[in-house]
Amino acid sequence: MRSIPRISTVLVCLSYFQAGIACARQPSAMHPQIFPKVTIAGSEVRTLKSTATGRDNDLYIHLPSNYSRDTTKKYPVLYILDGQWDFKLMDSVLGGLVYDKFVPEMILVGITYSGENADYEGLRAMDYTPTATREVKGSGNGPKFLKFLKSELIPFIEANYRADSSHRVLQGSSYAGLFTLYAMFAEPGLFSAYLSASPAVPYDNRYAFKQEAEYARAHKDLPVKLFLAVGGLEGLTEPVKEFMRTLQSRGYQGLKLETRVIEGERHAGNKPETFNRGLRFLFSD
């Protein structure tokens, strides 16, 4: 009876051999093999506690390849909301764009929340929404999160890294895209450029439209670059297209605007093309 498992293993290996597949002895269930984890080269994680929001934020930071060699050069900084999802994507997108010489090398800062079991959906719904609603628990922390960016995160990055303060870019999608637009109208000079993907403009009875209209009543200029996009097959397609038309009709002085509908894509699938096209536009000069 003791030989049966051994015979079974031989038969399995023989079948693999006949199929042209190498057969290796499987590790014991009690002693599984441990392999090294994949990491993103050139990246590091910092943690920053915010007094504005009361939360601990993890910062995923990727430095340019020649950062340690040229110790005098300063770099643009791309601040990526929802870093837990989009930092990895942006590392890949940026690498291709730098290789093809569409954009310069820059520092990536992915912003997320600390802890192994962080409730990303719940926390982002709190921090990325500019107003409180009954439908979204804990919503309305947008002003506090913007204060965190302005008074804590940006000073931290610019004190610890060679960041070019004249080239700050804020990027976000969905709720984070809504926050990106909110930040642009609330503090237009805080960042030089904004990239908003599928922003949740219907939120709170179309708050984004109201904020823009209020800004337009008091300002004729909006001296920033904005790339605004949405998937062609998602629920936000028509509201975002309406918001695009509103911005285009204002004629803000100094606003450099590009809009795009990513045909054939939905809410999440449009991000690779949106982020690629967005960075190319924002750094086109």
Coil, helix or strand at residue 277: helix
- Measure CA of the first residue to CA of the last residue in the chain; give whole Å: 76
Residues 6+ apart with CB under 8 A from 35: none
Q: What is the pLDDT of residue 41?
A: 87
Check pLDDT > 50 for residue 16.
no
**Higher per-residue pLDDT: 258 or 37:** 258
Q: What is the pLDDT of residue 116?
A: 87
Q: Which residue has the tokens 């990513």?
A: 262
Q: Copy the structure tokens of residue 103.
A: 């954009």
At 65-78, the pLDDT tens digits run: 999 998 999 999 99
At 183-228, the pLDDT tens digits run: 999 999 999 999 999 999 999 999 999 999 999 999 999 999 999 9
Domain boundaries 34-282, corresponding CATH code: 3.40.50.1820
Domain boundaries, the chain: 34-282
261 and 272 in contact (C-beta within 8 Å)? no
Residues 6+ apart with CB under 8 A from 204: 129, 130, 131, 133
Q: Label residue 168 by pLDDT band (50, 70, 90).
A: very high
Closest CA to 167 of 88, 73, 42, 46: 73
- What does pTM read for this prediction? 0.88
At 115-161, the pLDDT tens digits run: 989 999 999 999 999 999 999 999 999 999 999 999 999 999 999 99
What percentage of the chain carries pLDDT values higher than 90?
Answer: 83
